[in-house]
Structure 1
């Protein structure tokens, strides 16, 4: 499977803000209405909307309209992609750490 670095980078950029990390933490309990999430922050509704836009554009969060309210949830498939990327990276680093003399071998030749 080809890695989608652009998608992973977009998600990591979206997660690079403490407020958005807290939003993801809130959404880990399941779908949330924007009005309910706002109660957990000392920010305005337009500021929350900006953060939600960043998260939805990254693909990590799904948005759906329910009457006049927006409801948000984590896109589990996207989250799994990011987790898988880091798990693969960790396995590769552990495997490569076994051959610590790789540069010495090349220099001797």
Structure 2
């Protein structure tokens, strides 16, 4: 079975869209970066390096230093797909990231987005 084309899409190309979506709704690039770092374990320098390298999505998640275990607490629908029902691991991580950016753009408080107790 062929992989979905998002796996070979440059993370940087979609990252631009994530930042634009947040900024359009009054959020900042720093907030977008914070949720990406929270999810993946990248620090800011590492995240910037992955963007500069034009890393594809699959590699971006494969290289992620420490996926946050709290990500499994995310529930709901993003892009018409229920995130908790996505079986393929890389696609599930991509959907988690989409969900986080959607929550940010909808104005949800950062502590709620990051599942902080």
Q: Same fold (TM over 0.5)?
A: no
Which protein shows a greater Rg? 1
Q: RCO greater where, 1 or 2, for CA within 8 Å and sep 6 or more?
A: 2
The structure that is strand-richer by fraction is 1
